[in-house]
Amino acid sequence: MILLVPSVALFVPCFVDQLNPRAAIAALRVLERLGISADVPDGAVCCGQPPANAGYEHDARRVLTRFADTFSSYDRVVVLSGSCAMHVRSHAEEATVARTTEFCTFLYDEVGLDAVRTLGATLEKRIGLHLGCHGLRGLGLAKPSEIHAPAFNKVRALLETVTGVTFADLDRADECCGFGGTFAVTEPEISSKMGRDRLRDYTSHGAEIIVSTDMSCMLHLGGIARRQGVVVPTMHVAEILAGSAA
Amino acid sequence: MSARESILRAVRDARPAVEALPSAVMRPREVAQSHHELSATFVAAARSAGADVVETGASEIGAVVQAIVADAELGAFICDGVLGVAENGAVWLPLSRLRDRAEAFLADHVVIVLDREAIVADMHEAYARIDPRAEVFGTFMAGPSKTADVEQSLVIGAHGPRRVTVVLRG
Amino acid sequence: MSVDHRKAAAAFLADETRADWHDAALWWVRTKRDVMAQSVPEWEALRDTASAIKEHTLSRLDEYLERFERNAIANGIHVHWARDAAEHNAIVHGILARAGARRIVKSKSMLTEECGLNPYLEARGVEVVDTDLGERIVQLRGEAPSHIVMPAIHLRKEEVGETFHEHLDTPAGLANPIALAGAARIHLREKFLAADAALTGANFAIAESGGFVVCTNEGNADLGMAIAPLHIASIGIEKVIPRAADLGVFLRLLARSATGQPVTVYSSHIHGAEPGRAVHVVLVDNGRSTQLGREDFWRSLKCIRCGACMNTCPIYRRSGGHSYGSTIPGPIGSVLTPGIDLERYASLPFASTLCGSCTAVCPVKIDLDAQLYRWRQRVTSAGYGGRKKTVLATAMARVLERPPLFARGGALARRTLRVLPSRARRALSGAWGQSRDLPEMPRQSFREWYRAERGAHGS
């Protein structure tokens, strides 16, 4: 059952636009193959999270307002980042919050696994699945390890529609990778230590590719991997569903 | 203004809007546990806390306790528990049961005699039955004293008793 | 002088083997906590209830404090009030002096740490022996505790061995934990038996019954209280709870969250003094009423001092408690302490990725990550964000608000970085490039691709 949603926009966050365009292209293609022609309006490149989390919420407000205005005419705004979606949903006004959703959440909650399965992607690889913390604990993408509740993982369920995929079992299910926005450069030693530890959890459990809801985390883990000479690609969930990784 | 008045006034001025007080009694369990199940849970929890547990009939209690005391190299302190808590292996011991607080805590080996029927499921039920205000002192004791302050290695016997034996009667 | 968390953290990480060991030790405690949480079917309901009880109590704190005092006095407990650390210390010393008490044993109380009680008493000729094993270790070393529940978690057993060799005459090189704990038992037993007074904190003060509860595993608080004729309990005003029945909720959550045990070995309830003895309570404000008035931060006063937030915090585990420079470290410390001195502790709310794990483990559901975010706004509004960061963040916001400017800047940066040799790229990428490479710079941004493939898109 393909959900016909009248007007959908795709929000491509600033760093995805500049540094990971493939993830956005894949997301657009996935939506189109699912019968959703998403617009990518020019008006906004950022949700305002980086300056806001750095303590400059006041300056970030204008950026968020621009986001709200740009997407005000759409029924759904699909955001290609868990942490950006969470920022908007935590700080924007009601109408914007109501229309904004993260990409994997949108696919799982509104498009449905059956439809996603029709994408027919295959990938014979062991995936290291990385849910960004804001998407995990802030948006409810999966049950966090701290909480006593029935287990669920929307992102894993989406990836399980891909034939051939297996998942690396981690020592620490959902420990933060250490990116944290400006934290990555204001406390670089801890940030990179956390990243090294997280990367090692993936690689020591045979992950051949790290797949995430957040390319910011991937910039960080990927950058550490590259510095260490460890060859492990980092990709967005959309790229796997689009078959780009095969 | 006294410190008391000053603090109370500061608190009164600062306090946030009133929130309702919920009941502290958690929803009762759907399935009531039998005495047998309760005491099995208690025994497991007490042992997990490092206590020895001996189960015995009412008539043998004297002999059992005597044997434990005879075995205790550095002497033993014997007391009667009021109730046991199955979820954590703790026993409620008010001052009247300890008689001499210092002796109870200085003892190397504490022997607690407890009626099997005096075991309740959890702390909510425990507080429904005891009145902590009735005596100047009371403690829930769960096993021997312990510490993990040296490199997280668990050491049984910190400052308090190094051994606890619960003798379950009935 | 401001606390520079980053610098302290970097120093801690310089010994990576040690940092890994510290991180693993605390993660292990987090794991034990998870086992407990998963084994209590009503765990989340317990947290909700505990949070609601605390929020209610704080919303009527003055009434509950008065009720506690009334009932405590009726029980024969002396009640004193201290506005700040100085008053607290003077009151405690006054009680000791009137009783002629010069040798004190003290069980763990972060409040007395906060007030700097030990040096105050020592300067007045009172011997204070911290009897919690971890506290005693750091006391002998002249260090502050690095964790509120496991004060010596930052020390290897060899280091404890050295300290005991120096101060307790244990054999050089003895590092066996059982032997070391055994030596401490003998040493501290002497102190318990000779003590004139016992000082404790309290985990909970019960308004309806006028008593208080002290939870320990070691039995040190109980030994102190049982032997010495004088007992003084220092209690923060936020520790009050309405009813004894509330203890059912809190005691089920406390040890499970703190150490992964179903309950501490001793949960001792004091409702008066035995004949010939005296029990005093000192209720302490020291900034708590101010925090209570902060709409964004008063919920931090729900804290029951379990330390679970520290155990789970990936930054705390890798930087150690001392890196926060505050009595209470970690996530809760970072939302309590800036309220005391925003300039000095400005870096603490930023010692976090806002991952939210702390909020998820907190037994009383303090919104720690949201409060950290709010403190960041306070720090920068007050001008303590640092000029460089302010300029950078304002510029960032300006660029991010203007897509064409962003696109041009981004394209330029990518082009430049693409042609630079890797060493120059590394140097240019500053703090990022210390340990991370930049990705391959794409030739086209997504928007450039979109415009080319799909045509110009207005809206």
- In 3D, which of C163, C195, C375, A99 has the Cα closest to residue B149? C163
Q: Do A134 and C393 touch (CB under 8 A)?
A: no
How many B×C Cβ pairs under 8 Å?
A: 260
Q: Do A190 and C355 touch (CB under 8 A)?
A: no
Query: CB contact, 8 Å: B4 with chain C?
Result: yes
| pLDDT of B27 | 66
What residues in C contact B148, CB-CB < 8 Å? 150, 259
| Distance between B54 CA and the closest CA of chain C, angstroms | 19
Cβ–Cβ < 8 Å for C164, C172? no
- In 3D, which of A228, A144, A212 has the Cα closest to residue A177? A212
Query: CB contact, 8 Å: B14 with chain C?
Result: yes
With touching defined as 3 or more inter-chain CB pairs under 8 Å, the answer for chains C and B is: yes
Write down which chains contact chain C via at least 3 CB pairs under 8 A. Answer: A, B
| pLDDT of C459 | 37
Query: CB contact, 8 Å: C401 with chain A?
Result: yes
Identify the residue whose tokens are 């040190």.
C220
- Identity of residue A34: L
Query: Is residue A159 pLDDT above 50, yes or no?
Result: yes
Q: Which residue has the higher pLDDT, C219 or A1?
A: C219
What residues in C contact B133, CB-CB < 8 Å? 75, 209-211, 244, 271
Mark out the alpha helices in C60-116 (DSSP H runs). 61-74, 85-98, 110-114
Percentage of chain A lying above the pLDDT 90 cut: 91
Q: B102: nearest CA in chain C?
A: C226
Q: Do C82 and B132 touch (CB under 8 A)?
A: no
Q: C394: nearest CA in chain A?
A: A59
Query: CB contact, 8 Å: C356 with chain A?
Result: yes
Q: Do C385 and A147 touch (CB under 8 A)?
A: no
- Best mutation target among B2, B7, B92, B103 (most C Cβ atoms within 10 Å) is B7
- In 3D, which of A159, A178, A8 has the Cα closest to residue A80? A8
Q: Taking CA B6 as the corner, what is the angle to CA B2 and CA B9, rounded to the nearest 5 degrees?
A: 140
| Distance between B44 CA and the closest CA of chain C, angstroms | 12
| pLDDT of B42 | 98
- Best mutation target among C193, C222, C246, C252 (most B Cβ atoms within 10 Å) is C222
Q: Do A40 and C43 touch (CB under 8 A)?
A: no
Low-confidence ranges of chain C (pLDDT < 70): 428, 456-459
Top mean pLDDT of A34-38, A180-184, B72-76, C367-371 is at C367-371
How far is Cα B80 from Cα B98, in angstroms, rounded to an integer? Answer: 8
Residue C240, SS3 per DSSP: strand
Q: What is the pLDDT of residues B14-73, one digit of tens each?
A: 999 988 999 988 766 556 788 889 999 999 999 999 999 999 988 899 999 999 999 888
What residues in A contact C9, CB-CB < 8 Å? 187, 189-190
| Distance between C53 CA and the closest CA of chain B, angstroms | 6
| pLDDT of C434 | 84
How far is Cα A143 from Cα A154, in angstroms, rounded to an integer? Answer: 9
Q: Do C56 and B18 touch (CB under 8 A)?
A: yes
What residues in C contact A88, CB-CB < 8 Å? none
| pLDDT of C428 | 66
Write down which chains contact chain B via at least 3 CB pairs under 8 A. Answer: C
Q: Do B16 and C83 touch (CB under 8 A)?
A: no
Terminal C-alpha separation, chain C: 52
B137-141 and B90-94 strand pairing: antiparallel
- In 3D, which of A92, A86, A97 has the Cα closest to residue A133? A86
| Distance between B109 CA and the closest CA of chain C, angstroms | 13
Per-window interface: B 71-110 vs C, CB < 8 A? 85, 87-90, 95, 101-102, 104-106
- In 3D, which of C46, C23, C291, B65 has the Cα closest to residue A171? C23
Identify the residue whose tokens are 């009248």.
A6
| pLDDT of C441 | 85
Q: What is the pLDDT of residues A195-205, one digit of tens each?
A: 999 999 999 99
Q: Do C459 and A51 touch (CB under 8 A)?
A: no
The number of CA neighbours under 13 Å toward the Cβ of B11 is 27
Q: Do A187 and C5 touch (CB under 8 A)?
A: yes
| Distance between B58 CA and the closest CA of chain C, angstroms | 27
- Name residues whose C-beta falls within 8 Å of residue B78's C-beta, 6 or more positions apart in sequence: B65, B69, B110, B111, B113
| pLDDT of C458 | 42
Q: Do C435 and A224 touch (CB under 8 A)?
A: yes
What residues in C contact B19, CB-CB < 8 Å? 52, 55-56, 59
Say whether the ipTM exceeds 0.90: yes
Q: Do B149 and C133 touch (CB under 8 A)?
A: yes
What is the biggest distance separating any 2 CA atoms in chain B, rounded to whole angstroms? 65
- Name residues whose C-beta falls within 8 Å of residue C3's C-beta, 6 or more positions apart in sequence: C324, C325, C326, C344, C345, C346, C347, C348
When CB atoms are compared, the residue of C153, C182, C222 closest to B139 is: C222
| Distance between B133 CA and the closest CA of chain C, angstroms | 6
The dihedral sign for the CA sequence A115, A117, A120, A121 = positive
Average of per-residue pLDDT values in chain A: 95
Give the H or E element holding residue C204: strand C204-206
Q: What is the pLDDT of residues B112-160, one digit of tens each?
A: 999 999 999 999 999 999 999 999 999 999 999 999 999 889 999 999 9
pTM of the model: 0.96
Per-window interface: C 78-117 vs A, CB < 8 A? none
- Best mutation target among C401, C434, C449 (most A Cβ atoms within 10 Å) is C401
| Distance between B1 CA and the closest CA of chain C, angstroms | 11
Residue A185, SS3 per DSSP: helix
Query: CB contact, 8 Å: B8 with chain C?
Result: yes
| pLDDT of B75 | 86
What residues in C contact B142, CB-CB < 8 Å? 262-266
